[in-house]
């Protein structure tokens, strides 16, 4: 079966660093995406990993280990506007083609 796990909620302090973990078990693998979603709004794309290692994009970094079925999203220098849900999504095989399969999301609360 297809399964993506991430923590339901996390809390962190403004200016700090937070790491949001994602583990997955999917039929096939063709990339992992992280999205940010503010309450009541559309998800927006943050990062993409298909090879093992770290991808850095400003304050946000994402890591992938395919052998462990594991990824994390690292947010540095947290700002209040980073309070949002963070969705891990894996492009796995569904029927005869690859589709994005989403985790339930991690709600991050940034406190002053």
Partner 1 sequence: DADVTQTPRNRITKTGKRIMLECSQTKGHDRMYWYRQDPGLGLRLIYYSFDVKDINKGEISDGYSVSRQAQAKFSLSLESAIPNQTALYFCATSDPRAANSPLHFGNGTRLTVT
Which stretch in 16-24, 59-67, 74-82, 91-99 sits in contact with partner 1 by CB under 8 A?
A: 91-99
Asked if 41 interacts with partner 1 (CB under 8 A), we say yes
3-state secondary structure of 81: helix
Our measurement of the distance from residue 70's CA atom to the centroid of its chain's CA atoms, rounded to an integer in Å, reads 10
Alpha carbons 24 and 69: distance in angstroms, whole number = 5
**Encoded tokens for 11:** 């809390």
Q: How far is the CB of 46 from partner 1 (least distance, A)?
A: 9
Using CB under 8 A as the criterion, which residues of the chain lie in contact with partner 1 when the complex forms?
Answer: 4, 8, 30-31, 33, 35, 40-45, 48, 50, 87, 89, 94-95, 99-100, 102-105
């Amino acid at each position: 079966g297809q399964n993506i796990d991430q923590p339901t909620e996390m809390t962190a302090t403004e200016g700090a660093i937070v790491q949001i973990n994602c583990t997955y078990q999917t039929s096939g693998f063709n990339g992992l995406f992280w999205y940010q979603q503010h309450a009541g709004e559309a998800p927006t794309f943050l990062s993409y990993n298909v090879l093992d290692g770290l991808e850095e994009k400003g304050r946000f970094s994402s890591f992938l280990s395919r052998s462990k079925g594991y990824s994390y999203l690292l947010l540095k220098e947290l700002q209040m506007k980073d309070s949002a849900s963070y969705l891990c999504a894996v492009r796995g095989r569904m029927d005869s083609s690859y589709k994005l399969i989403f985790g339930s999301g991690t709600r991050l609360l940034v406190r002053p």
